[in-house]
Structure 1
């Protein structure tokens, strides 16, 4: 008989995208660990022939190796899953309660100006939008829940509204709201900038470093500021800003040498350790791990921007390293010796600190591409390296959006056709579909006219 799999672990692994690494529908703990370790070793053993970048500016893509070690996987996976489900499960219940009835939705609209949003997996921005109403209009949402409770005649809806109003009005929920909104807002801004058409490697590296520093700074002071903001939210709700201490559950010891875990005597300290530190550390680790390759690529192409401050020996070494990086099967896109001479003889720049895009624009304006061919080629390669992918924001992939909608009843030809129409929507708006539909109906009609 097949061993029953851990549902919380599987749900989190699916949410974090680890199912694609296992090749199974519901990975177990051991298979996820083996697959992750094998993938890491394979990537390290594979010889690098080109500067490949691993990009996906999402906090949800947490692939920290510490989280996937054999001894800590089960605990960390379940802990983070419970943290995420505990908060966003409440947000989903709020949206479901109000959106299931036009009357309840009208009550919500009378109280709030920012409506509740559903957390869609295909849209990164929805993560922030789902938290925003609770961050700035939590008191209004709670008033709407109380009005629904007082006016509904359905006992189930009345009990659900009462339960949600108590949860939304708690000090703990307010702290979680502030923390999640601050975290997701910081990541969202970096995500949008990473998807900009003008984004390139050197700017992406500096942006990610700044995001990492911001997260580290937020870990030091964010929990205190979150408490202050949560107290203001509680004052608007006219509720007491106090964390309730839960009763400690006694656990059975299987061996005499086992000792009881030291419990947290302070509920606020427990929330900081088990919620705030875990979430911030996971986000910081995700950024470090996911963009380490991008930073290494940025260092290899760094000679193209910092050459004015390099000594001759260091300039030669970095040019040779760049030429080796772009070497494949005995052929290199650059000649390191000529690149060194071109950089040394390059005319004075209007500014000592210029980005890759500014450099190539300067060369294009001065018609220097034929005079410095290796430098020109290196700049073009650096600027055409992708810093993000369409999978980072699934809404940018029309094909994936269509795949997510009634895929089981859709043929491949229809799927491809809808994708083409969606991409070329400007042309599609000019097509007269009435004649096409009439022609299709006449050919496919099952009734025969006598």
Structure 2
């Protein structure tokens, strides 16, 4: 999208937010994009997109009329896709459960991370979602009550929310579940599959098998003060010097215990706590999230990944490529003899 079209989109969005008495700070966050490397930005983007959906839809409608050929075509396609009941229902449903997970994701990506407490909170969220899965009718009705006045009535889809999509003989491009009411149709098509996917994901990521890795965080001084020596020994049975390790940190000021990082703690284990040093190294390298790293979709992938898999570090060091120079195979072979 060109810069003038972006300005039109922002201007229309700001006007729509002003009529809806939206807070002024929303104007600057309306252009958030999904991040491939930061989970918290994904949840924040979903929340902001839902809050400004009507203004964004109005901006797309304006661009579909006033933009150039490419912009009009692209804006029209986006507007047509977003003006469907299935899109609105999915948006409100995803935003509902993203609000539950966003604080936990922020904790998992924070500097002072308490992985054990975060895992316990995930367990409470998982229990809540399981209860919702047992009663999907209530969840679907709540989504309808939230989506109809907030979005559907403003964009003229209130009547479509009350009707059942056409049932075809063959399910090919969309869900084709038999239903007697709109609530039953969207419950079978979207609510139940979405809840199942969240439950399945959380059970895999925070399963009981990952429990021992989370208990390594109890070796941090800020965590040791809240647990007993027996609980600390149970967390890591192979390490036998828990008493001495805990006594060392009990004598240090409280401010140091809370601010010290795991890397700094490693310096305290260089000579006398070799097994503990090994455990702390595992804790440092343990990823708490599985966000996509920047290299897979970066242009440096060809240099950093593909070349390094077939060439040694010695050949890559100080090597530069000049596209303006051409070399023949014969001269290259003869120069290396």
TM-score (norm 2): 0.60
Residues 1:227 and 1:384: Cα distance change in structure 2 (over 3 Å): same
* Structure 1 residue 111 corresponds to structure 2 residue 26: no
1:247 aligns with 2:176: no
Contact residue 127 and residue 184 of structure 1 kept, 8 A: no
Is it true that 1:405 corresponds to 2:298 in the alignment?
yes
Unaligned runs of 5+ in 2: 14-26, 219-223, 255-271, 309-319, 326-337
- Cα distance between partner residues in 2 of 1:385 and 1:405: 28
| 1:195 and 1:388 in contact (8 A); partners too | no
Q: 2:154 aligns with which of 195, 215, 236?
A: 236
Q: Distance in 1 between matches of 2:152 and 2:31?
A: 19
Report the equivalent of 1:149. 64
Answer yes or no: is the 8 Å Cα contact 2:40–2:106 preserved in 1.
no
Counterpart secondary structure, 2:154:
helix
Give the drift of 1:284: 1.8
Aligned alpha-carbon RMSD (Å): 4.8
Assess, with a 3 A threshold, how the Cα gap between structure 1 residues 307 and 393 changes in structure 2: closer, same or farther. same
Per the TM alignment, residue 378 of structure 1 is displaced from its structure 2 partner at its CA by: 7.2
Q: Is the 8 A contact 2:89 2:144 kept in 1?
A: yes
1:275 aligns with 2:275: no
Which runs of structure 2 are paired with 1:2-41 in the superposition (5 Å)?
none
Instruction: String of CA shifts for 1:19-41, please: whole Å, max 9, x gaps.
Output: xxxxxxxxxxxxxxxxxxxxxxx
Q: Tell me how far 1:393 sits from its aligned partner.
A: 3.4
State the distance in 1 between where 2:56 and 2:250 align. 54
Equivalent of residue 225 in structure 1, options 134, 142, 151: 142
Distance across 2 between alignment mates of 1:177 and 1:166:
15
User: In the superposition, relative to structure 1, how do residues 384 and 246 fare at CA in structure 2: closer, same or farther (>3 Å)?
Assistant: same
Cα deviation per residue 1:25-81 (whole Å; 9 max; x = unaligned)? xxxxxxxxxxxxxxxxxxxxxxxxxxxxxxxxxxxxxxxxxxxxxxxxxxxxxxxxx
Whether the 8 Å CA contact 1:194–1:388 is kept in 2: the answer is no
**Structure-1 residue corresponding to 2:82:** 168
Tell me: CA distance 1:104–1:411, structure 2 relative to 1, closer, same or farther (3 Å).
same
Corresponding position of 2:283: 385
Could you tell me which runs of 5 or more consecutive residues in structure 1 were left unpaired when the two chains were aligned.
Answer: 1-99, 253-260, 327-332, 347-355, 367-373, 395-399, 416-439
Distance 2:180 2:194 in 1: 22
Q: Identify the residue that residue 136 of structure 1 maps to in structure 2.
A: 51
Contact 1:108 1:115 in 2 (8 A): no
2-structure distance, mates of 1:241, 1:410: 55
Distance across 1 between alignment mates of 2:116 and 2:247: 12
Asked if structure 2 preserves the Cα contact closer than 8 Å seen for 1:190 and 1:211, the reply is no
Q: Which structure has more RCO (C-alpha within 8 Å, separation ≥ 6)?
A: 1
Q: How many residues align?
A: 271
C-alpha distance after superposition, 1:302-345 (max 9, x if no partner): 9x76649x8xxxx8xx957842xx2xxxxxx317xxx7xx6xxx
d(CA) in 2 for partners of 1:102 and 1:320? 60
| Aligned counterparts of 1:391 and 1:141: Cα–Cα separation in 2 | 31
* Cα 1:131–1:168 shift into 2, 3 Å: same
